[in-house]
Chain A
Amino acid sequence: MTTPHVQTDTQEISHPFSSLIKMRDIWKTYQMGTEELHALKKVSFDVTKGEYVAIIGPSGSGKSTLMNLIGCLDTPTKGEYWINGEQVADMTDDELARIRNKEIGFVFQTFNLLSRATALHNVELPLIYAGISSTDRHEKAIAALESVELGDRVTHKPNELSGGQRQRVAIARALVNQPSILLADEPTGALDTTTSSEIMNLFERLHAANNTIIVVTHEMEVAERAERIIMIRDGEIESDKKTR
């Protein structure tokens, strides 16, 4: 019962489990008055487990929109998106919240730490929404902080930490739920050169430990650390190639 030409077309869709991320013909359209603005057009790509991908593009290219879609912060106007086997394109807000909690660890340019909470509490945050008991939470958060070499800064508040340390707390927070993807948005944008390379080294270590990493950036040096670069321009994928 196998007809080859049908197979090639439907195989990808009927076996979404082969990739961690699977985007097919994704469109994001904004209505600007009477005009339609296509932030993303016909975007399709896959990311498999353990990959280290950089998404690069100039500002206004649509890379932030793409990051929001990958991170399940937003839904596409059209298209299909599977993350770890689940179709997320039509999910409700609360379902998306669950997916973000389970599958995605965010690292932001400006860290986005709760300023009045300790490093430990900041790292515990995703676990609270995952409904994990306080003893487990504590253990996991400590382990995550130790994995970014901040085991001795557990009770410090963000304003008592350096920029690099803050970003490491944010990375610990992103990792604590053991998400499928670590999604970083300009992770070195607010850091100096030395600290930036420190953070990029950390990403490399995490990659070596078989984490899937997607970095969104406009800096080529940052992108070149990844093993694959997806270039976005005018809402479309301009190129998608391995660096090594």
Chain B
Amino acid sequence: MTEGATSHPLKKAKHQRLALVVVAVVALVAAALIATWALRNQASFFYVPSEIVSDPPPAGQAVRLGGMVETGSLVTKPDGVTIDFVVGDGDARVPVEYKGIVPDLFQEGSGVVAEGRMLANGTFRADTLLAKHDENYIPRELQDMTAAQKQAAIEETTK
């Protein structure tokens, strides 16, 4: 008798909590969908140099350009804060200009992601620079050592 009386509100609370759980799951799926949507949006505005050359975005459209800073291309303008460099991906090259503070890891021969827009003259004007590093992990000293060892090895064999 008493059992029937207590089990009814208990069941109700159970249903309410299950509804809460369903809401939580729906919210989660929505979050995942928003994330993928944001990602697709972001990916569609991401260009590598060969894409920007073959299928350029409309001039003035905010896009992101990713690639390698070509060795020997980095030039600091006389004002000291404006820099010019070339971003390449092996197939195409895009000249970039940027004014501002550069991140530590930004250097020639290393990866970069530039946010900005294409100008009518084919130059990319960057508002933000992000340094992208590659998958290689090489100690600083070892890099010098292997160069020296190579030298030694070459001398050894040519003797």
Genuine A/B complex: no
Instruction: List A residues at the B interface (Cβ < 8 Å).
Output: none
Instruction: List B residues at the A interface (Cβ < 8 Å).
Output: none
